Amino acid sequence: MRSLIFLAILSLLALTFPVSIASEPSPVQDFCVGVNTPSDGVFVNGKFCKDPKLATVDDFFFTGLDRQRIATNAVGTNVTPVFADNLPGLNTLGIAFARVDYAPNGLIPPHTHPRASEFLIVQEGSLYAGFVSSDQDGNRLFSKILNKGDLIVFPVGLIHFHVNVGRGPAVAFTAFNSQNPGLITIAKTVFGSNPRINPNALAKAFQLDPRIVMSLQTKF
């Protein structure tokens, strides 16, 4: 009988534990508009809560996502984030959003979000997007050409990417199930760490000449 109870408890923990670690803390009020000064309230999720009586609609409002951004960075993209830092009403709600503008051939390079899954929906153009499963699953590539109105989901923590493969600029919107999904860009993290990872270690890991590794490290 004890073993059955123990197994039942383990089963319940297995069902509830992933949910508890994936969700944001449960709010004890309608909202917690984030501010940076301690005089305004309690510290929650990296922000202090504004007195709810002082909240206004502007704390929950963001405009300008219809405007095209020029993609001028090295990889040909421009990301407009809508996080709790610039939309304080998002604090503790467990969501975040972004607009991505792509130049022709622009891309968001392989990266992960350690604290969130992601939706990507194409507003304009065509994207090649995908993610790679874990070592345990055989590093399988799940990829698709996405056109206007198409959507793909990137599971939490998995390496993913999106590339503009159309003839002109492209636009996509992304949404995350965390107010702070985190970002680890693979190439920048591996070759641009501070301090640098020993080139000989990276050379062995990637089966490259150490001189090639050192050359890559100068780019990040």
19 band by pLDDT with thresholds 50, 70 and 90: very low
Q: Residue range 72-101: average pLDDT?
A: 95
Binding residues for Mn(2+) are: 111, 113, 118, 160
Using alpha carbons only, give the angle 199, 203, 208 rounded to the nearest 5 degrees.
Answer: 135
pLDDT of residue 80 exceeding 80, the answer is yes
Binding residues for oxalate are: 113, 118
| Structural domain boundaries in the chain | 57-182, 183-219
For residue 6, the model assigns a pLDDT of 39
For residue 49, the model assigns a pLDDT of 84
Of 17-26, 32-41, 86-95, which gets the smallest average pLDDT?
A: 17-26
For residue 10, the model assigns a pLDDT of 36
pLDDT, tens digit, 9 for 90 and up, residues 94-133: 999 999 999 999 999 999 999 999 999 999 999 999 999 9
**Residues above pLDDT 70, as percent of the chain:** 83
CB-count burial class (<10 Å; 0-12, 13-18, 19+) for 185: middle
Q: Which fold has domain 57-182?
A: Jelly Rolls (2.60.120)
CB-count burial class (<10 Å; 0-12, 13-18, 19+) for 207: exposed
**Residues above pLDDT 90, as percent of the chain:** 74
Q: Residue range 155-169: average pLDDT?
A: 97
Binding residues are: 111, 113, 118, 160
Contacts of residue 10, Cβ cutoff 8 Å, sequence gap at least 6: none
Please give the C-alpha separations between residue 114 and each of 21, 29, 109, 111, in angstroms, as whole numbers. 12, 27, 16, 10
Q: Which residues pair with 120 in a beta bridge?
A: 152, 174
In angstroms, the CA 165 to CA 201 distance is 35
